[in-house]
Homo-oligomer: A and B are copies of this chain.
Amino acid sequence: MTYCVAMRLSSGMIFVSDSRTNAGVDHISSFRKLHVFQVNDERTLVLQSAGNLATTQSVMSLLRRNCEDDNQPNLLNGKSLYDVALLVGDTLREVIRRDGEEFGGSLLLGGQIRGEEPRLFQIYPQGNFIEASVDTPYFQIGESKYGKPIIDRVLRFETPLSQAMQCALISMDSTLASNISVGLPLDAMVYRSDSFSDSEQYHITDQHPYFSQIRQLWSKGLLSVFSQLPPLQL
């Protein structure tokens, strides 16, 4: 499986993906699930994928190939992020129609095209999609439930990007702890509104000093809060 989370906040966006894919217990591998399409000073697009690896790899291959032909709609010439979401949704729908409904997948598409605010879409296997809002500033795909409570507690539209990234990493930690099908390394990216830059990308392995540090502090902190709860009174 997979866990990807994306946040669209007042000052920019946060993207974090794990990299584990599995097809039965004997086939556990790592593949990148965070893909960046960049035109300096004009657009930064980020796609995250979950679901069947054949399906999502096919979608990414087709989207990349499209980018070579400027005469047809593609990720680099779409006028708005909505247009790009339509294209991605159509491509996902086509691949699933070709390969079979049992090979589903879903995608997160976020970023900014000059002339628009940053936007974030969640694209379903059926090809349709929803957009994040001030009230619902984040989306998750894949094994999303383990890491949802901490995001619901912490994240608001106004949360600063650095705190939001901490929150995404803690959410990932909760998922890693409870589900063996989600695994390191992580791909993470910070996008600052109106920067049109993909320069803040990070690859986080189990050796990463900051991630290791906050995982330990979080675990210790939780156990400490738990041990300080008042004695049971029912």
Contacts and interface: CB of A to CB of B under 8 A. Distances in A.
Interface in A196-234: 200, 202, 204, 209-210, 213-214, 217-219, 221-226, 228-234
Contacts of A217: 225, 228-230
Interface stretch (A55-63, A73-81, A97-105, A143-151): A143-151
B166 A229 contact: yes
A213 B165 CA distance: 30
Contact of A149 (B162, B174, B188): B174
Contacts of A190: 234
B229 A218 contact: yes
Contacts of A202: 234
A175 B148 CA distance: 9
Q: State the copy count for this chain.
A: 2
A71 interface: no
A170 interface: yes
Given A148-B178, A149-B177, A174-B149, A167 B226 contact: yes
A202 B232 CA distance: 12
Contacts of A188: 234
Is chain A's binding surface mostly helix, strand, loop or mixed?
Answer: helix
A161 to B, nearest CB: 9
A213 B229 CA distance: 9
A153 interface: yes
A234 B185 CA distance: 14
A158 interface: no
Nearest to A160: B232
Interface of A: 143, 145-150, 152-154, 162-163, 165-167, 170, 174-175, 177-178, 188, 190, 200, 202, 204, 209-210, 213-214, 217-219, 221-226, 228-234
14 contacts: A143-B145, A145-B146, A149-B174, A153-B177, A154-B226, A165-B234, A167-B226, A170-B226, A210-B230, A210-B232, A217-B229, A221-B228, A222-B225, A224-B225
